[in-house]
Amino acid sequence: MSATVIRLDGHSLTRADVAALAAGASVSLAPEALSRVARAADFLAEKVTAEEPIYGVNTGFGSNADKLLGARRARDDLPGGNPESNALSLMEELQHNLVITHAVCVGEPFSESIVRAMLGIRINTLLRGHSGIRVSTLESLAAMLNRGVIPVIPAKGSVGASGDLAPLSHLAIVLLGGGEAFYQGERIAGAEALQRAGLTPVRLSFKEGLALNNGTTQMLALGALALNRIEQTIRTADLAAAMTLEAFAGRSGAFRPEVHALRPHPGQVETADSLRGLVAGSTLVDIPYHLVPRFRTWLADAWNEPEDQAQRFDLSWDWVPSSQRHGREKFYTRFLPFKGGKKHQPQDAYCLRCIPQVHGAVRDAWAQAARVIDIELNSVTDNPLVFPDQPGAREIEDQVISAGHFHGMPLALVLSYLKVSIPVLASISERRTNKLLDPANNDGLPAFLIGNEDATDSGFMIVQYTAAALVNDLATRAHPASVYSIPTSANAEDHVSMGANEARHVFDMCEDLERVIALELYTAAQALEYRQDMLNAARRLAARGDLGMLRRKISNAPREGTVEAAAFDRDCEALLKALATADSFHPSPRVAQAFAAIRERIPFMSRDRAMDGDIRAICEWVRSETP
């Protein structure tokens, strides 16, 4: 367990704290918060003798809210009954039964890290002092977390109003000595887990069952942890996009600050700034069109210098004769009349040019979800709410107020927004991966990023298939759950949020999003190495002054003695000079650092090999680190 201790006070819990709790941090309870807790519990204890209804204290729950608890059980006046029983025992039974009958979730259990986050969040909200729970009960809940007694909570069963009743009942039932728990790596009975940890079961008092199981804790924990992962993944997506842009020798004008000042959506502006920083210092981005050769299949006579025989490619350009330059004369005074790997167009495809608009929109969806979740982390979400010191209160209804803070719709809607953004970010990444592989659209790189001189290699072809499958799966899971309310509790709870399903979907989708981005990085690294090596090979060839060899790299060189031959020779000499005087071609420092990290794990693929280990390595890198 981590040595980190998170101080909970009901007001200052952050998403970073939630991540620390999930990773094993323990908690301490702020004394001033415990004073508020004690005040509310004492107030409730004073009021239980009143004969007016207090929901969840001396009434039933949900559709049973109109039923007041009597002084004793209805059967106690019958032979064999217990006429000495009192209202307190009924109230205790009410809370006990609430927990044990609501723990009905199904499916595989949440991981211990998720449940740890739920425990921390639940303790924090109860520390606000408006729930009526006793200090001793809250301390027992904290001790359970700190000693590693982690309730087993099956993942499915909450409708998100009244809060996450069923999963939180699985959480609370262990506190009562029931249910199951994980303890020191074992899944055992809750009572045994408490005993091994040196804890004793709790007997619930007024409203404590309701305080423990009525709230948005499951959806909040999943949402907070998902936000942390998605925040990292958005940054990684920017990096993958930058590496792809470098591999394309793309254009940076679409990221300039004056462009985005005209449409200043915050996420868009931030993404453009991120891209500018990521490619700063590159000699590949914005390279003149004529310097970029295109890939040609390696042949034994492709190079005549011994040090060049190890090349995994040949190079080629097409010359643009003067007869084909009409109407474009000014263009060819700026750029030499050669077409290689880079098309003569001032704009890249949408998947490159529109990175700020697409990644930025996802950032904005993330920011809206973060705003709501950050508020929820320090909110009271059970019912009824206890206000022991309400000014001017004359009736108990002024101090114990039934409201709807358990309703998960604020979370559900922003999680729906975030959920539909996940396949959007994955989709544009897959489009960049596909573009890198398609010889009709990859600006002069080899088909499927493999030399394939013997026609035996598939290269990275099927990597895109996997990305496409993942994007399709994410898209089919992105339909909002929040729009499908199914009433519960005999229509007493006639509109629910389904926010727990929404949060679970978002959390589960994070991993496939990471995988799609990882596949782009894997592919972009191969493409970048090809692009850099091809450009630098052309530069070395030019530096030797071998005009004859350069001419042989021009696919449509005119025959000697023709009218065009002299012009062709002059243009080739100009290309030779431009290449020879160009700086070494390299990506930006940020992209180069990421490329080196990938190459530490995965070598360049010059011929087909088993790729499953590569895929595991790149996915693990993206999942476990911030590239």
Please write the tens of the pLDDT for every residue from 263-309.
999 999 999 999 999 999 999 999 999 999 999 999 888 887 777 77
pLDDT at residue 307, as a whole number: 74
Q: Any idea which of 54-58, 81-85, 244-248, 470-474 has the lowest mean pLDDT?
A: 81-85
- The catalytically annotated residue of 182, 313, 338, 406 is 406
Taking domain 5-215, whether its CATH number is 1.10.275.10 is answered by: yes
Catalytic residue among 214, 434, 442, 501: 214
Active site residue 530: no
Report pLDDT for 517: 98
Residue 88 has pLDDT above 60, yes or no: no
Active site residue 350: yes
Q: Does 228-368+421-624 carry CATH code 3.40.1190.20? A: no
So what's the pLDDT on residue 82? 58
Under a CB-based contact definition with an 8 Å cutoff, are residues 320 and 338 in contact? yes
The answer to whether 578 and 336 are in contact (CB under 8 A) is: yes
Q: Inform me whether the pLDDT recorded for 585 exceeds 60.
A: yes
86 has a pLDDT exceeding 60:
no
Q: Which of 11, 75, 263, 350 is catalytic?
A: 350
Please report the pLDDT score of residue 87 as a whole number: 47
Judge whether 248 counts as a catalytic residue: no
75 part of the active site: no
Catalytic site residue 484? no
Looking at residue 328, its pLDDT comes to 87
55 an active-site residue?
yes
pLDDT tens digits for range 340-382: 999 888 889 999 999 999 999 999 999 999 999 999 999 999 9
Cis peptide before 162 (omega within 30 of 0): yes
Other Cβ atoms less than 10 A from the Cβ of 532: the count is: 21
List the chain domain ranges. 5-215, 228-368+421-624
* 443-456 pLDDT per residue, tens: 999 999 999 999 99
User: According to the model, what pLDDT value does residue 63 have?
Assistant: 67
Contact 44, 389 (CB under 8 A): no
Q: Which of 488, 432, 479 is nearest to 160 (CA)?
A: 488
pTM: 0.94
Over residues 63-82, mean pLDDT? 66
Residue 77 has pLDDT above 90, yes or no: no
pLDDT of residue 300: 84
List 246, 493, 502, 514, catalytic entry: 493
> Can you tell me the distance from the alpha carbon of 446 to that of 431, in angstroms, rounded to the nearest whole number?
17
Catalytic-labelled residue, pool 325, 353, 477, 623: 353
Separation between Cα atoms, residue 365 and residue 358, nearest integer Å: 11
Q: What CA–CA distance (Å, rounded) separates 190 from 49?
A: 34
Which band of pLDDT confidence, cut at 50, 70 and 90, is reported for residue 333? confident
pLDDT value, residue 47: 83
Task: Report which of residues 262 and 345 the model is more confident about.
Answer: 262
Rounded Cα distance, 219 and 226, in Å: 10
* Candidate list 39, 43, 55, 97, residue with the active-site label: 55
Residue from 15, 36, 102, 122 carrying the catalytic annotation: 102
- Answer yes or no: 406 catalytic: yes
Name the most confidently modeled range: 415-419, 491-495, 561-565.
415-419
Averaged pLDDT of the chain:
93
With CA atoms as reference, report the closest residue to 54 among 405, 492, 388: 388
- Residue 70, pLDDT score: 65
CA distances in angstroms from 90 to 68, 204, 207, listed in the order given: 11, 11, 12
pLDDT tens for 14-46 read: 999 999 999 999 999 999 999 999 999 999 888
